[in-house]
Chain A
């Protein structure tokens, strides 16, 4: 647990502090070229209602989806 916490913290510190140099690199997609990327469906979470509903089903029916932020228990959900 301690190791994982340290790894996560260090990764964030290293990447965030190193980011100051990155804007000097050339970007391959300019901001004015991102029209398609701005489409509402080009969003990994464009439909939160559907995603949360399905995720709760997976969490209660599959062994590999444990411990989300909306746990339920009892006989019904198991």
Chain B
């Protein structure tokens, strides 16, 4: 049963859908962004604004957790043109097989493939970098398209960078062996500022607003009401706010440490705290060409107001998605980068081979694995192998 305060949140979420479409004026926003960008580009003389490094990454990703396996290749190519423009392309494939806890209780094992293609372009205009991006993700029962525009403006001798971004997404939700065809509209706004804090420290502060509207539940999943399986019912809209800080520090010992924190809250009463500490160091026993990047990440989440493991009474909205429950994760991992100096050729400046492993321990506070009749907890293993060429 939902608490009164929780009910208010749920009702509030449903009322947000109506004004979302009416008040949406994307042309106005894009026009302002362009005008602002042009004004800012004219405001100051040119400083040393540089494009991202030219690189090609070819790798293989593997995920295994909760009886679900995902693996597939990934390719990223980024190339500069005339020192003012940069183009990039990325291809990623996920081959999914298995049966997660939702599937075990309500469906049968399956396998499918998801393909993702991203294209991007960047251009330097005086001391600003403008970015355009587009991504398409396709799988048998779900399609996602998005376009994004962003600008980074460098000022005060490049000590500060103002970042603004807007991403628009269109998803199509389907279901195998049915004619289901429903839409999700997404709007993501980003506002951030990064700064050179000292000769060896960088600081970044970012704020994000995320708006979704449409079929937000999963058509395969159901909820449980007084022990009986019933369809899930979600609000049509969701608005989330994320605030994060990120710092990088270069130590005298030629090592780099990074601290990241993010707070998130949304209109479904989901809130979370994320802490991440990363430490990057060369391994002296092997040589300066071998660098290891280790990290510890802690995630804690309070679930949605309408989430219930086994609802005692009928409510307007009901969900049993474990991603909306109360849970936490502990994540540890490391990536080793080995500079293949002997293999460097005249076509590229650096060739690096990398291998990474990450373990994520999930522990749910109010989601029961019905096959075992106990609260769910599992470990997910992530493995990556890839090679990077910088040129």
* Interface residues of A, Cβ cutoff 8 Å to B: 1-2, 4-5, 8-13, 15-17, 19-20, 22-23, 25, 27-31, 33-34, 36-37, 39-45, 47-50, 52-54, 57-58, 60-78
Contact = CB atoms under 8 A, between A and B. Distances in A.
Given A8-B189, A13-B39, A16-B40, A49 B57 contact: yes
B211 interface: yes
- In order of increasing CB-CB distance, the 9 nearest A-B pairs are A16-B40, A73-B142, A9-B32, A76-B96, A64-B272, A64-B264, A19-B155, A2-B23, A71-B144
B212 A66 contact: yes
A76 to B, nearest CB: 4
A22 B323 contact: no
A70 B137 contact: yes
Contacts of A13: 32, 35-36, 39
B372 to A, nearest CB: 19
Interface residues of B, number: 124
Interface stretch (B2-10, B196-204, B309-317): B196-204
B210 A66 contact: yes
Contacts of A9: 28-29, 32-33, 36
25 contacts: A5-B29, A9-B36, A15-B162, A16-B162, A22-B155, A22-B160, A23-B44, A23-B155, A37-B199, A42-B202, A42-B248, A44-B202, A49-B76, A60-B323, A63-B324, A67-B211, A67-B212, A72-B139, A74-B140, A76-B68, A76-B96, A76-B110, A76-B139, A77-B114, A78-B323
Contacts of A40: 53
A69 B323 contact: no
Contacts, number: 263
Given A23-B156, A42-B250, A53-B61, A74 B40 contact: no
Nearest to B217: A78
A64 B240 contact: yes
A12 B30 CA distance: 12
A33 B157 CA distance: 12
A16 B204 CA distance: 18
Contact of A4 (B186, B199, B209, B293): B209
B146 to A, nearest CB: 5
Given A12-B33, A49-B386, A75-B103, A1 B187 contact: yes
Given A1-B24, A12-B32, A16-B162, 8 more contacts: A11-B164, A37-B200, A41-B293, A47-B293, A48-B57, A49-B57, A64-B272, A67-B210
